[in-house]
Amino acid sequence: MTSAICFDVLTLFPGIFEGFLSESVLKAALTTQKIEVRLHNMRDWAEDKHATMDDRPFGGGPGMLLKVDRVVPCVEEIQRRQKPGRLLMFTPQGRCFNQMFAEELATEQRIVMLCGRYEGFDERVAEILKPEEVSIGDYILNGGEVAAMAVIETVMRLVPGILGDEDSNRFDSFSTGNRILDCAHYTRPREYRGFSVPEILLSGNHAEIARWRKNNSLQQTKEKRPDLLAAVSENSHSENSPLKTEPKFSQISIIKNQNQCK
Ligand code: SAM
């Protein structure tokens, strides 16, 4: 069986992925060959006996840079091994990774991911390979490995047949079902320390439950992530606001694929 999607990860620290790949949904997806993850130690492309991958920056300054003459041949060889994949290079300067970006990546057969370390890459890596530069947020990690894990985990959830319930990823926050936040969820016990489950969820009335969930989802978004609501109808600000009764989703336009991390 060939996997639906293959991730090639180029890293100096493949060991970081060991636990990540051997638990839970990812372990099952790998075992059943629904996805494939190949780890490549970039150090194997270093020719000197110390396997040097980094060097001091020209012009001075702190830290070390990943060497262009080590990284480029490594990526080129891995790309040559089969039909070249979509090449992502993790850097804080890149396009922000989000759910819509993940949906786009889930249509690929092969994704090749380049993880930086130290002060990052010699700029010529990007000039020569022309990768898509990708950031997972406005903060600095030690390396691109956590970013690669975020991409693998988010994209694999979108591969058909991996999650037990196909609907569960449609109605997740940010996802195709609504593009806003998911509603609140409850399970047993019905009461805990004086906090009860909303009555409507115990009613068995599916239409009313669906209405409550839509309303709650919109309310959560307004309170926690108003930036996701680009425009709500004029009415939504009035006393007769649809938000106070039933949300009219057609009246909400969602900010399209933002490229900047917030
Ligand atoms: N000097 C770089 C800068 O200020 O932009 C930071 C280098 S960081 C310590 C080392 C590597 O971690 C980067 O080359 C990149 O691969 C990865 N990295 C760090 N933060 C990241 C982020 N927010 N998104 C994606 N990759 C990140």
Considering the domain boundaries, does residue 140 fall inside one?
Answer: yes
Could you tell me what percent of the chain has a pLDDT over 90?
A: 77
Residues, the chain, total?
262
**Contact yes or no for 212/200 (Cβ under 8 A):** yes
Short-list 43, 37, 7, CA closest to 22: 37
Residues 128 and 214 in one domain: no
Residues 208 and 91 in one domain: no
Reply yes or no on whether 213 is catalytic.
Answer: no
Short-list 230, 105, 137, CA closest to 180: 230
- Please, which residues have CB within 8 angstroms of residue 138's CB and are 6 or more apart in sequence? 92, 261, 262
**DSSP E strand stretches across 142-201:** 191-192, 195-196
Identify the pLDDT of residue 236.
45
pLDDT tops 70 at residue 237: no
Identify the pLDDT of residue 48.
84
Partners of 7 in beta bridges? 37, 111
* Structural domain ending residue among the three candidates 122, 156, 190: 156
Number of domains in the chain: 2
Residues 208 and 137 in one domain: no
Short-list 72, 70, 92, CA closest to 80: 72
Mean pLDDT to the nearest integer, 225-247: 52
**DSSP E strand stretches across the chain:** 5-11, 35-41, 54-55, 65-66, 86-96, 110-114, 132-135, 191-192, 195-196, 229-231, 253-254
Condensed to tens digits (0 to 9), the pLDDT of residues 46-93 reads 888 888 999 999 999 999 999 999 999 999 999 999 999 999 999 999
Q: Which of 119, 132, 133, 153 is flagged as catalytic? A: 119
90 lines ligand 1 (CB under 6 A): yes
Condensed to tens digits (0 to 9), the pLDDT of residues 178-193 reads 899 999 999 999 999 9
pLDDT tops 80 at residue 16: yes
CATH code, domain carrying 244: 1.10.1270.20
Work out which ligand 1 atom sits closest to the CA atom of 142.
9
Could you tell me what percent of the chain has a pLDDT over 70?
A: 87
Identify the pLDDT of residue 249.
42
Residues 243 and 116 in one domain: no
Residues 224 and 145 in one domain: no
Residues 120 and 189 in one domain: no
7 lines ligand 1 (CB under 6 A): no
147 lines ligand 1 (CB under 6 A): yes
**Out of 129-143, 154-168, 234-248, which region has the weakest mean confidence (pLDDT)?**
234-248
Residues 146 and 22 in one domain: yes
Identify the pLDDT of residue 262.
65
Reply yes or no on whether 172 is catalytic.
Answer: yes
Considering the domain boundaries, does residue 152 fall inside one?
Answer: yes
pLDDT tops 70 at residue 244: no
Higher-scoring residue by pLDDT: 8, 163? 8
Considering the domain boundaries, does residue 23 fall inside one?
Answer: yes
219: Cα separation from own chain's centroid: 24
Distance, CA of 85 to CA of 75 (rounded, Å)? 11
Condensed to tens digits (0 to 9), the pLDDT of residues 28-49 reads 999 999 999 999 999 998 888 8
* Structural domain ending residue among the three candidates 96, 131, 156: 156
Considering the domain boundaries, does residue 165 fall inside one?
Answer: no
Residues 122 and 78 in one domain: yes
Residues 140 and 58 in one domain: yes
* Structural domain ending residue among the three candidates 131, 156, 181: 156
pLDDT tops 70 at residue 170: yes
- Please, which residues have CB within 8 angstroms of residue 115's CB and are 6 or more apart in sequence? 9, 10, 11, 12, 13, 90, 143, 144, 145, 147, 148
Residues 146 and 177 in one domain: no
119 lines ligand 1 (CB under 6 A): yes
Mean pLDDT to the nearest integer, 115-133: 98
Considering the domain boundaries, does residue 99 fall inside one?
Answer: yes
Distance, CA of 42 to CA of 45 (rounded, Å)? 6
Identify the pLDDT of residue 261.
72
Which residue range is the domain that position 46 belongs to? 5-156
**Contact yes or no for 213/181 (Cβ under 8 A):** no
Gap from CA of 260 to ligand 1 centroid (Å): 15
